[in-house]
């Protein structure tokens, strides 16, 4: 079997998909189910159909594009990622795994390979937490993991998705294996000058909404000892969060306050209310939870010292996921057969594969991204790395579906 990745077409599709954006290039903003995202999804569905794949969507908007195998009743081998993008993002996060997956399937078809198991491209709906506060909503529902989806009901119906959310869950054994190709979103591959990473596990993510209520007032009239400034309390808490993550027993603990809304937001008004988010992750779930507890204790001290109320709402606190030995072996064998060195590594970003691991043996393949940059407009992956990733993906799909 001679597999050839059409690098030129893959890159030109990547550029085209980046034009479906609500930001000025090179930034990409593609929030799920916005008119722009719906156009991107329609474009992608057309590309899948053009490739001869049978396309269906479920009630939350996960897109399945299937190449039927000789044994139609056997579980499929899946691959895929997401195309939604956070505000002011780049063009590679998720997209490399979707278009790389599509090109891998096309390359297999061109080669004359006939799979025994069906091969399916899965485009996960709403991987990014921008719109619905929680990440990986599509894969959470596929794997039957929490969340009733009520808050998304109206939005997805407006996007033309009217099925029953209860039906999104995949039957056990639906996938024989699932592989996701993705940019690393960190600098380790580039530093090691190695072009491929085989993921061993995905770190445990958690996120919270924090709401601080103090007292507003006139910026000139209220003297400093009388103040209950919600933003000053937030500032102290943000630094305490940074300190808690920095002083954790391992460098694997990371914490980020990425959103901070100040009310009423006027130059001459004392902030009475702040709403902010906390994203905290670790490869070790117990250590992450310990750091979260320590932050909560500090927040209680700040609350009583500054006489403000601080409320926490846990959005998600997920367990880490291990990649399956057989999927890692298929990826490693493909790399070895091609003479491509690879690094075994942890994924510090989360991915839909975290949830898919609950219903199927899962593996992930990383390619480098320049300086480790991701979730920013200058995110970049080299064409030859993208093509190499798609090739190893295609070879591994072939091994797992033969």
- Tell me how far CA of residue 280 lies from CA of 25, 232, 240, 291, 299, in angstroms: 30, 22, 13, 9, 15
Q: How far is the CB of 134 from ligand GLV (least distance, A)?
A: 11
Given ligand GLV, Mn ion, none, residue 342, with its beta carbon under 5 to 8 Å by kind, binds none
Question: Which CB, 240 or 349, lies closer to Mn ion?
Answer: 349
Residues 74-93 that bind Mn ion (CB under 5 A): 93
Dist. CA 320–CA 298, nearest whole Å: 26
| Residues at the interface with ligand GLV (CB under 6 A) | 128, 135, 349-350
> If you ran DSSP here, which 8-state letter would residue 225 be given?
G
Nearer residue to ligand GLV within complex by CB, 186 or 214: 186
- Which C-beta is closer to ligand GLV: that of 269 or that of 277? 277
User: Cβ of residue 270: shortest distance to ligand GLV, in angstroms?
Assistant: 33
Report whether 152 contacts 136 (CB < 8 A): no
Which of these, 323, 396, 400, 313, lies nearest to 362 by C-alpha position? 323
- 35-50 vs 7-19: helix crossing angle, rounded to 10: 160
**Nearest CA to 334 among 370, 363, 372, 369?**
363
What binding mask, one character per residue, do residues 92-131 give for Mn ion by CB under 5 A, x or -? -xx-------------------------------------
- Taking CB atoms, the residue at the shortest distance from Mn ion is 94
Closest C-alpha among 61, 41, 44, 30 to residue 141 = 61
Using the minimum distance from each CB to Mn ion, give the nearer residue, 263 or 380.
380
Least distance to ligand GLV, CB of residue 82, Å? 8
Q: Is the dihedral of CA 195, 196, 202, 205 positive or negative?
A: positive
Q: How far is the CB of 93 from Mn ion (least distance, A)?
A: 4
Taking the least distance from each CB to Mn ion, the nearer of 94 and 214 is 94
In the complex, least distance from residue 128 CB atom to ligand GLV, rounded to whole angstroms: 6
Binding-site partner at residue 350 among Mn ion, ligand GLV, none, CB < 5 to 8 Å by type = ligand GLV
120 binds, among ligand GLV, Mn ion, none (CB under 5 to 8 A by kind): none
- The DSSP element (H or E) to which 294 belongs, if any, is helix 285-306
d(CA 226, CA 270) in angstroms, rounded, equals: 11
Smallest gap from Cβ 323 to ligand GLV, in A, equals 16
Nearer to ligand GLV, 128 or 385 (CB): 128
Nearest distance from C-beta of residue 129 to ligand GLV, angstroms: 7
Shortest Cβ 309–Mn ion spacing (Å):
33
Size of the site for Mn ion (CB under 5 A): 2
13 binds, among ligand GLV, Mn ion, none (CB under 5 to 8 A by kind): none
Contacts of 193 (CB under 8 A, 6+ apart): none
Report which residue's Cβ sits closest to ligand GLV. 349
SS3 of 313-362: the string is EEEEECCCEECCHHHHHHHHHHHHHHCCCCEEEEECCCCCHHHHCCCCCE
Which C-beta is closer to ligand GLV: that of 210 or that of 232?
Answer: 210
Separation of alpha carbons 35 and 265, rounded Å: 30
Looking up tokens 């609350």 gives: 303
Task: Name the residue nearer to Mn ion (CB basis): 81 or 299.
Answer: 81
C-alpha neighbours within 13 Å on the C-beta side of residue 332 = 13
- 216 makes contact, choosing from ligand GLV, Mn ion, none, with CB < 5 to 8 Å by partner type, with none
Measured CA to CA, the distance from residue 237 to residue 401 in angstroms comes to 51
Shortest spacing between CB 185 and Mn ion, in angstroms = 7
By the 8 A CB rule, do 110 and 127 touch? Answer: no
Contact predicate 7/398, CB 8 Å: no
271 binds, among ligand GLV, Mn ion, none (CB under 5 to 8 A by kind): none
Cβ distance to ligand GLV smaller for residue 124 or 350: 350
Binding site for Mn ion (CB under 5 A): 93-94
């Amino acid at each position: 079997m001679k597999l050839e990745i059409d690098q030129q077409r893959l890159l030109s599709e990547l550029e085209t998909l980046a034009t479906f954006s609500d930001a000025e290039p090179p930034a990409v903003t593609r929030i799920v189910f916005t008119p722009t995202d719906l156009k991107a999804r329609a474009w992608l569905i057309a590309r899948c159909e053009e490739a001869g794949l049978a396309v269906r969507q479920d009630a939350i908007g996960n897109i399945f594009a299937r190449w039927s195998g000789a044994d139609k009743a056997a579980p499929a081998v899946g691959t895929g990622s997401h195309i939604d993008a956070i505000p002011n993002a780049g063009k590679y996060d998720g997209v490399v795994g979707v278009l790389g997956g599509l090109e891998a399937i096309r390359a297999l078809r061109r080669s004359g390979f006939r799979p025994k198991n069906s091969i399916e491209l899965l485009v996960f709906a709403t991987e990014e937490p921008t719109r619905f506060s929680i990440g990986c909503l599509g894969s959470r529902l596929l794997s039957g993991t929490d969340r009733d989806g009520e808050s998304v009901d109206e939005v997805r119906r407006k996007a033309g998705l009217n099925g029953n959310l209860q039906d999104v869950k995949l039957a056990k054994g639906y996938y024989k294996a699932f592989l996701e190709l993705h940019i690393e979103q960190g600098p380790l591959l580039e530093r090691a000058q190695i072009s491929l990473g085989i993921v061993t596990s995905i770190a445990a993510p958690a996120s919270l909404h924090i709401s601080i209520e103090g007292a507003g007032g006139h910026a000139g009239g209220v003297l400093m000892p009388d103040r209950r400034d919600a933003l000053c309390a937030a500032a102290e808490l943000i630094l305490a969060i940074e300190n808690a993550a920095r002083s954790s027993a391992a460098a694997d603990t990371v914490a980020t306050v990425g959103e901070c809304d100040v009310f009423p937001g006027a130059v001459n008004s004392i902030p009475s209310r702040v709403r902010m988010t906390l994203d905290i992750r670790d490869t070790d779930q117990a250590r992450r939870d310990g750091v979260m507890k320590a932050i909560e204790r500090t927040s209680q001290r700040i609350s009583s010292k500054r006489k403000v109320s601080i409320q926490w709402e846990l959005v998600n606190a997920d367990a880490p996921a291990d990649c399956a030995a057989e999927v890692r072996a298929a990826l490693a064998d493909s790399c070895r057969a091609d003479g491509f060195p690879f690094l075994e590594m942890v994924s510090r970003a989360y991915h839909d594969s975290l949830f898919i691991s609950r219903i199927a043996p899962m593996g992930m393949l990383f390619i480098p991204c320049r300086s480790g940059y991701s979730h920013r407009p200058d995110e970049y992956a080299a064409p030859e790395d993208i093509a190499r990733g798609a090739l190893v993906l295609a070879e591994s799909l072939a091994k797992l579906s033969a």
